[in-house]
Homo-oligomer: A and B are copies of this chain.
C-alpha cells in the first residue's frame, strides 16, 4: 500500500528562475567585499589576540602564542557563502549550508558574524572593534570556542571533525523539507572516504516533490594534509564522467590560479549559481507537473587554489595552492619578525580599512549582501532543529500488547509486534518520522506491517515485479550503514524523528559516526540556544545469539560496550526481552530527546513473559525481581541471585530457575531481570544508576549473583565494580565463541545455557551437599546429550526446543513452533 504518494502534497513554495546575468559592478563589489571580510576575519581568528582591525602596526604581542586552526579550506567556504548569500537574497530560498571540511571553522564563524547572527546569539561578540577582538581571541583558545564548525557555531549541523558525512547529512536534512535548499560542500579530501563516495547515490532516494534539494559542491582545492587529492589528479573528462555516473549534471567553476583576479572568478561563479538554481527550479516545476522520473540534479565542481589568497610562497616554498596551506601557514608568526611582517601584509591584502567602519562594524555594502532574518544561512532554524521539532503523535502502545495469560504461555516475534505499532506511528506522522535500515527492515521483521502503512522510498528505476517501493515512502533502505546513520542524523538534527534498524554486529560500522553524534549531543546540552532534538534510536536485531545463517562473522554484541564509553548524559541502553517490554521501551525512546538509545531485541519467535501492565512497571523501574520465577521467602534474603539482561539470557535464566526449583526446592533463588542496563551503574556515574542501597536490595550485598548477560560478560563487571556485592558476581555472556550452528549450541558454546547456569549456582552456593553434586552431574550430562543430538541431527534437542515455563498445553504447542532455522536471518 502506498500511503504518501508523490502526487499527494504539492509544495507551497515556488522555486524561482531568473535569467543568468553578469553581476553589476555594485553587486560584484558587494560579493567581493563579503569574501574579503570573511577571509580577513578567518585569518584574524587563527592569529590575532589584539589589534584586530590592524589600526596599528602588527607586533608579536598581537599574535596568539599557540596558532591553531585550518586555513586551507576556509577561503573556498567563504567564497561560496558570499555567492549563496547573493542568490538567497534574490530568490528567497531557505538554505542550509553544510561544510564537509568542517575544520574550516573560522570561516563558518566569520560568516555568521558578518550576517549578524553571531552577535545576536553571543552578546559579548558585538559588531565593534572590541567585538572583533573577542571574536578573534576566543577561537581555539582555552575557555573559548573549538576550531571546527562545532555545535557552538550558528548555522551548523555538521562539525566535520570526522570526514565523510556531508552529503548524507545534507540529504537527511532535505527529506520532508520540500522548500529547503541544502548547499553541501564536499572537500576533495573527504571525497576519498568510503561513506562520502557512496553518499552521492542518495540522489536515487530523494523525491523531487516531497523532499528538499541537495546541491553538492565538490570543492577541488587539490590537496589534503600532506598529499594531492585523487579527484584533482584525474583528467577533467574522467571527473565529469564520474559525476554523471553518479547521476548528476556537473558544472565546473575554476579560477584563482596563478594570481587570477578574483573578480573574474566571482562572475563565473555567479553565472553558474544562477544556471544551477534555474535547473533546480525546472526540476521542481516538472515534478509539480507530475513528472515522477529521477531528475539529473545539478552539482558544482569548484576548483580553486588551496589556501587561496594566503602568501603564495613563504621561506621559498609554495604555500598557496599546496598542501602546506592546510593548517596554519605561518607557524612562527609570533617569533620571527619576517613572518610577522608576512602576516601583516597578508591581513592588509584584504584591505580591512574598506571592510569595517570606524566603530568596527562591517561596511554597508557587506551587510547589504546578507539575506533577511531566518533566510540568513547562519540563522536558518533548520540548523537548530529543536526549534522546528513537533512531538510525535504516538498511538497508545498498550493497545498493541500481546496476550500473556501466564509467563511464557504465548510466543511472538518481538520486532514483528513492534512493527504493528510502528506502522501506526507512520500513519499518524506522515511527514516527520522515518525508518532507516541497510536492507534489513524486512529481515528484522518490521515488515509486513510497516509496508501496509508505507513503502520504501525509491527514485531509481522500477520493474513491474517491484513490491513495497514508491517514489515517496517512510522507509529508507540502502545497503550502507553509513548512509542510514548519516541520513538519520541529518533528519534528527533538523527537527524530525526516526529510528535505525540494523543487525547488531554490523552497527559497529558506524561506531565512529556514533561517537561524533554523541559528542555533538553532549556539547549541545551546554549551549542554551541549541534546542532539544529527538533522540537517535537504534533497533538492533538479528543479534549475536541468533545468527544461525551466518555464524561467527555476524556475532558481535560489543556496540553496547562502545556506546557506554560516551558521556552518561547522552547514552541509554535497553534490553527488552519480549514483545510487551519492547513496545514499552520503544514508546519511551521515541518520546525522548537528546539521547542515543540503543535497543537490542529479538526477532525470532520467543516466549512472552510479562503482561503489558507488568512490562510497563518493569520498564519504568528498569529492572525487577520476577517473584513468580524464584523460590525466595518474602522478607528474607535469598541464597543466590540469578540475574538476566537480554532476550536469550532471560530465557536461559528462567529455564535454569525452573530446574533449580524442581530439583532443589529448598534453595532460595531470586530471579532478577535488568532491562535498562544503565541501572547497574552507580548513581554517581549515570543518571539511571541505582543507589548502592537499591542495588543491594535487588542483588544482595553478599550472596552469589550469577548474571547471564546478552553481550560480553566483562561489561557487567565494568558497570558494577563499585558495588558491595561485586566480588560475588559471576557474569556469563558471549565469549567470542561462535560458528554456524543451532541456537542452543550457541549458548552452550559460551556457557550461557541453562545447564551451565545451574552448575554456576551450585559451584557458588556453599553447603548444598550431595544432592547438588548429583544435579551438577545431570547438568553435565544434559549438555553432552544436547551437543551430541545437535551433531547427529543438525537441530536442537527436543528437551530444549519444547521447553516451556508453565505446564500448560497451549504453551507447549506454541513452543514447538519456535523457528529454529533462523528464518530470514540473512
Chain A contact residues, CB within 8 Å of chain B = 49, 64-70, 103, 140-148, 150, 159, 161-164, 189-190, 192-201, 204, 224-230, 233-235, 238-247, 318, 322, 326-327, 331, 439-443, 447, 456, 458, 460-463, 465-466, 469, 477-483, 505-506, 508-509, 511-512, 515-516, 519, 522-523, 548-554, 556, 558, 561-562, 565-567, 712, 714-715, 717-718, 721, 726-727, 736, 739-742, 745, 790-791, 793-795, 820-824, 826
Contact A821 B66, beta carbon cutoff 8 Å: yes
User: Provided the pairs A550-B147, A554-B161, A790-B142 are in contact, do residues A478 and B230 lie with their beta carbons within 8 angstroms?
Assistant: yes
Contact B204 A794, beta carbon cutoff 8 Å: no
Contact A146 B551, beta carbon cutoff 8 Å: yes
Contact B148 A551, beta carbon cutoff 8 Å: yes
Contact A162 B511, beta carbon cutoff 8 Å: no
* Pairs A-B, 7 closest by C-beta atoms: A161-B553, A242-B245, A194-B194, A197-B198, A241-B245, A233-B460, A197-B197
Cα(A542)–Cα(B777), bound, Å: 55
Residue of B nearest to A792 (CB): B142
Within the complex, what minimum Cβ distance (angstroms) separates A792 from chain B?
A: 9
Residues from chain B with a CB closer than 8 A to the CB of A225 are 439-440, 442-443, 824, 826
A227 contacts which of B198, B246, B477 (Cβ < 8 Å)? B477
Within the complex, what minimum Cβ distance (angstroms) separates A657 from chain B?
A: 26
Within the complex, what minimum Cβ distance (angstroms) separates A170 from chain B?
A: 15
User: Provided the pairs A141-B794, A511-B512, A512-B509 are in contact, do residues A244 and B241 lie with their beta carbons within 8 angstroms?
Assistant: yes
User: Provided the pairs A201-B230, A739-B146 are in contact, do residues A793 and B65 lie with their beta carbons within 8 angstroms?
Assistant: yes
With A142-B794, A194-B195, A326-B826 known, 6 other A-B pairs at CB within 8 A are: A49-B794, A65-B794, A66-B548, A103-B826, A225-B442, A233-B458
Contact B230 A327, beta carbon cutoff 8 Å: no
Q: Which interface residue of A239, A461, A483, A740 has the most chain B CB atoms within 10 A?
A: A740
User: Provided the pairs A194-B198, A230-B460, A509-B512 are in contact, do residues A561 and B550 lie with their beta carbons within 8 angstroms?
Assistant: no
Residues from chain B with a CB closer than 8 A to the CB of A227 are 439, 456, 458, 469, 477, 479
Residues from chain B with a CB closer than 8 A to the CB of A441 are 226
Within the complex, what minimum Cβ distance (angstroms) separates A150 from chain B?
A: 8
Residues from chain B with a CB closer than 8 A to the CB of A442 are 225-226
Contact B199 A511, beta carbon cutoff 8 Å: no
Residues from chain B with a CB closer than 8 A to the CB of A462 are 233
Residues from chain B with a CB closer than 8 A to the CB of A483 are 194
Residue of B nearest to A327 (CB): B826
Contact B245 A65, beta carbon cutoff 8 Å: no
Residues from chain B with a CB closer than 8 A to the CB of A66 are 548, 742, 794-795, 820-822
Residue of B nearest to A205 (CB): B230
Cα(A247)–Cα(B238), bound, Å: 7
Cα(A128)–Cα(B456), bound, Å: 49
Residue of B nearest to A152 (CB): B739
Residues from chain B with a CB closer than 8 A to the CB of A161 are 550-554
| A-B contacts, 30 listed (Cβ < 8 Å) | A66-B794, A68-B821, A68-B822, A69-B549, A70-B549, A103-B550, A142-B794, A144-B740, A145-B740, A146-B551, A148-B550, A161-B550, A163-B479, A194-B197, A225-B442, A226-B441, A227-B479, A228-B460, A228-B463, A230-B460, A234-B247, A238-B247, A244-B245, A245-B246, A322-B465, A327-B549, A509-B511, A519-B553, A522-B736, A567-B736
Contact A146 B238, beta carbon cutoff 8 Å: no
Residues from chain B with a CB closer than 8 A to the CB of A198 are 192-194, 196-198
Cα(A48)–Cα(B561), bound, Å: 40
Cα(A463)–Cα(B228), bound, Å: 9
Copies of this protein, total: 2
Residues from chain B with a CB closer than 8 A to the CB of A326 are 826
A148 contacts which of B331, B553, B556, B718 (Cβ < 8 Å)? B553
Contact A548 B68, beta carbon cutoff 8 Å: yes
Residue of B nearest to A741 (CB): B142
Contact A147 B239, beta carbon cutoff 8 Å: no
Cα(A820)–Cα(B68), bound, Å: 11
Residue of B nearest to A321 (CB): B465
Contact A164 B554, beta carbon cutoff 8 Å: no
Within the complex, what minimum Cβ distance (angstroms) separates A450 from chain B?
A: 12
Residues from chain B with a CB closer than 8 A to the CB of A447 are 226
Residue of B nearest to A188 (CB): B479
Residue of B nearest to A477 (CB): B227
A791 contacts which of B143, B552, B565 (Cβ < 8 Å)? B143
Q: Which interface residue of A192, A463, A795 has the most chain B CB atoms within 10 A?
A: A192
Residues from chain B with a CB closer than 8 A to the CB of A162 are 505-506, 509, 553
Within the complex, what minimum Cβ distance (angstroms) separates A126 from chain B?
A: 21
Within the complex, what minimum Cβ distance (angstroms) separates A600 from chain B?
A: 16
Residues from chain B with a CB closer than 8 A to the CB of A480 are 192-194
Residues from chain B with a CB closer than 8 A to the CB of A238 are 244-245, 247
Contact B234 A461, beta carbon cutoff 8 Å: yes
Within the complex, what minimum Cβ distance (angstroms) separates A482 from chain B?
A: 5
Residues from chain B with a CB closer than 8 A to the CB of A466 are 228
Contact A482 B742, beta carbon cutoff 8 Å: no
Cα(A199)–Cα(B230), bound, Å: 12
Contact B201 A192, beta carbon cutoff 8 Å: yes
Within the complex, what minimum Cβ distance (angstroms) separates A259 from chain B?
A: 16
Residues from chain B with a CB closer than 8 A to the CB of A192 are 198, 201, 478-480
Cα(A148)–Cα(B145), bound, Å: 50
Within the complex, what minimum Cβ distance (angstroms) separates A519 from chain B?
A: 5
Within the complex, what minimum Cβ distance (angstroms) separates A602 from chain B?
A: 18
Contact B565 A519, beta carbon cutoff 8 Å: no
Q: Which interface residue of A523, A554, A726, A739 has the most chain B CB atoms within 10 A?
A: A739
Residues from chain B with a CB closer than 8 A to the CB of A233 are 204, 458, 460-462
Residue of B nearest to A746 (CB): B142
Residues from chain B with a CB closer than 8 A to the CB of A715 are 718
Cα(A454)–Cα(B326), bound, Å: 23
Residue of B nearest to A791 (CB): B143
Residue of B nearest to A226 (CB): B442
Cα(A148)–Cα(B225), bound, Å: 39
Contact B793 A140, beta carbon cutoff 8 Å: no
Residues from chain B with a CB closer than 8 A to the CB of A68 are 548-549, 740, 821-822
Residue of B nearest to A318 (CB): B465
Residues from chain B with a CB closer than 8 A to the CB of A200 are 197
Cα(A228)–Cα(B140), bound, Å: 47
Residues from chain B with a CB closer than 8 A to the CB of A460 are 228, 230, 233-234
Residues from chain B with a CB closer than 8 A to the CB of A506 are 162, 512
Within the complex, what minimum Cβ distance (angstroms) separates A256 from chain B?
A: 16
Residues from chain B with a CB closer than 8 A to the CB of A551 are 140, 146-148, 150, 161
Contact B721 A717, beta carbon cutoff 8 Å: yes
Cα(A196)–Cα(B199), bound, Å: 12
Within the complex, what minimum Cβ distance (angstroms) separates A81 from chain B?
A: 22
A794 contacts which of B64, B228, B242, B740 (Cβ < 8 Å)? B64
Within the complex, what minimum Cβ distance (angstroms) separates A234 from chain B?
A: 6
Within the complex, what minimum Cβ distance (angstroms) separates A61 from chain B?
A: 12
Within the complex, what minimum Cβ distance (angstroms) separates A227 from chain B?
A: 5
